[in-house]
Amino acid sequence: MEAITKLLDELPLQKPWVGKTKQPTGEEILEQKSNLFYQYFTFFTQLLSRLRAKNVNNSSSNISEEEKKLSQLTVIALSYMLHANVNVGLHHTLPMGYVKNLVTRSEFLDVFTNILKQGTEFGNLKETLEDKYRNLIEMILDKDLIVTKAICEIIKVTEMDLLAGILIRINRTRGSDIELLKFMIETEVNNNPIDQPSTLFRRNSFASKMMSAYSKTIGKQYLKKALSDLIQTTINDIMVNKKVLRLINEN
């Protein structure tokens, strides 16, 4: 949840257009964005409801610190999401401030208070694509690697190669690629079964994919410089031999 909260901070929601028309209208874009907001909004509100139900069944002394933190992070995540998508999210969230359940009402009053503290501008949402994703890049480059850790836990095997290359290129722009590799290696070593040392860096893991992507990025220029002359000489020799053989056959 901590990673999700960081991701939603100033991140306007959007997804690839899947409509019938090539270029969506402004209304179609807003409708799609509103539907996406509602999906996430429903997820967060259901999570808060489950936490409330659990708290009702337990005394306040039995509520763990993790549950309290999860509830707080969920409210913060809702605040961030609404702050970045107020043009489509306000009509979904505003009614929650008037529900009969006092706990629910209090939680969403906290959400509204948070977005006001963040200085939400209700009429200025003209952001460029660069503005939308600058914060995402900064979170990926965060020294705590919270987003990277979350990605490692959920990434599909079929997407590992692509994402490994992207993360390496992003971190190389700031000179933090070595730190990223160190983290991936430490994670691989810590998670590898003690009684199976032979599987270390041999499994189809994100760490092995990351090292492979790094090797390709770093080694490409080296291999080009080291082998280009030899390969070119070999090609030239082959061409000369072909010419000699052709002349012999003609005679």
DSSP 164-188: HHHHHHHHHTTT-HHHHHHHHHHHH
> What region does 201 belong to: left with phi over 0, alpha with psi -120 to 50, or beta?
left
CB–CB of 116/79 below 8 Å?
Answer: no
What are the φ/ψ torsions at residue 240 (nearest 5 degrees)? Answer: -65, -45
What are the φ/ψ torsions at residue 36 (nearest 5 degrees)? Answer: -65, -40
Q: Is the pLDDT of residue 40 over 50?
A: yes
pLDDT of residue 124: 46
Over residues 89-100, mean pLDDT: 74
Query: Where does residue 55 rank: exposed (0-12), middle (13-18), buried (19+ CB within 10 A)?
Result: middle
pLDDT of residue 22: 65
C-alpha span between 228 and 234 (Å, rounded) = 10
Chain-wide mean pLDDT for the chain?
Answer: 76
Q: Is the pLDDT of residue 59 over 60?
A: no
C-alpha span between 72 and 79 (Å, rounded) = 11
pLDDT category, 181, cuts 50, 70, 90? confident
pTM, 2 dp = 0.45
Among 47-61, 82-96, 190-204, 220-234, which is the least confidently predicted range? 47-61
C-alpha span between 212 and 135 (Å, rounded) = 27
Q: Is the pLDDT of residue 130 over 80?
A: no
pLDDT of residue 204: 74
pLDDT category, 118, cuts 50, 70, 90? low
Among 67-76, 106-115, 124-133, which is the least confidently predicted range? 124-133
DSSP state of 100: S
